[in-house]
Chain A
């Protein structure tokens, strides 16, 4: 038996995160992920996945980078590096965005929150050092960039996440902030929990309602334990995090998004704000504007695969006998009970319903282009609040 999942090169020793001992004490199976020990699973990926969809799952995503930007015109300066409207982002609101390179390739995808006196960025764990270097290179010296590496990050995801978190009795730390249950999707605010500061946002990476909570490293165990004490909540590993985000149609940086791909072709045009489409003025703008005018040659699509054999990253996608693309993420969908995949295909083969095939170990599996998400999003939007 050999596990042929790629694990990458170990150039540095694997580091421990604040909840390391907490996971081990609760039976988390720890693996090296992006240079950190994190649990890939607890009781099993399938059970954890389904539990998150029906109740609430607690994820440790402390490997992700938490960055604080402040200083004169920080929003305008950040806008030079990404295609989102940050100047128009109101306090307490979050926007999904992407760093692009000069050629319009995707360097990173991230969340930007306006916290009033500063911008808060959450970036991928595997990219955070490159992101910091990129920001430091292109932002003026007057902009302060702080890597909040003393903060852990928890995600509480699922339809009952709101019930579990509300029971902890968090108190808004600024005037006018709503109770956590009244935050809308993509809204954030600071809170106090038993005297401890927390940054809470209603957001996530599963397609479900839920929260992401930034907590001081020294408070992480207490918070994780208090959340896990709620009857709705079970601990969930990275394995289910990946199958949940795949069902939700959310791209994984380094796989579904790389510098070879552009934001429009990735189907992420919603992240290119209206004002910025016309104005440009960000790194990579020429390609974005060109692709808005003339559709790109290859695009990111979802695929439903026939049978039971999963088609995984790297599998070649065919239309008849012609190779038209490549799978960039794929696996078994616990919610649907079938294999699903995400991949990049020629635009002519990208319409939903297009019959294609995927080659896995010399066999051709039938596959159909499918609109994403595969499983409907269940975000809780608070219109007008």
Chain B
């Protein structure tokens, strides 16, 4: 399994044609206390870059974009009761949704962990 990162601070774990998407630890720290995550419906299809989810912190609402094109096959129901999981464990238990990728080659443009770390260090 390989993990990719976007410059919108999302991480994507890819296993076969299934991609698990969440936001990075850096992103959750920037957002602050998260009080609600609006997840997409299962079965919904996105093109890369579409609005896919919304994260509400105490301060503001932030859009989460689909990092690649695909169909939503599962969402993280645990976030409904415990949105704070995104703060406490952004890169594992705080995942948002899983996509069945329609075009895995879209991932080639994304960063690996080393590149993302450099990207964040430069912000």
**Residues of A participating in the B interface, judged by any CB pair closer than 8 Å:** 1-5, 40-41, 44-47, 49, 239, 243, 308-310, 312, 331-332, 334, 339, 361
Contacts and interface: CB of A to CB of B under 8 A. Distances in A.
Main secondary structure on A side of the interface with B? mixed
B22 to A, nearest CB: 11
A1 B8 CA distance: 5
Interface in B1-49: 8-10, 23, 27, 31-33, 35-36, 38
7 contacts: A1-B27, A1-B64, A46-B32, A243-B58, A310-B61, A312-B61, A332-B33
A310 B10 contact: no
Contacts of A41: 32
A4 B35 CA distance: 16
A235 to B, nearest CB: 15
Given A1-B64, A2-B8, A309-B36, A46 B58 contact: yes
Given A1-B62, A44-B33, 18 more contacts: A1-B8, A2-B8, A4-B60, A4-B61, A5-B59, A5-B60, A40-B59, A45-B33, A45-B58, A45-B59, A46-B58, A243-B58, A312-B60, A332-B35, A334-B33, A334-B58, A339-B35, A361-B54
Given A1-B23, A2-B8, A44-B32, A332 B61 contact: no
Q: Which of B9, B27, B32, B55 has the most CB of A within 10 A?
A: B32
B56 interface: yes
A173 to B, nearest CB: 39
A5 B30 CA distance: 13
A237 to B, nearest CB: 10
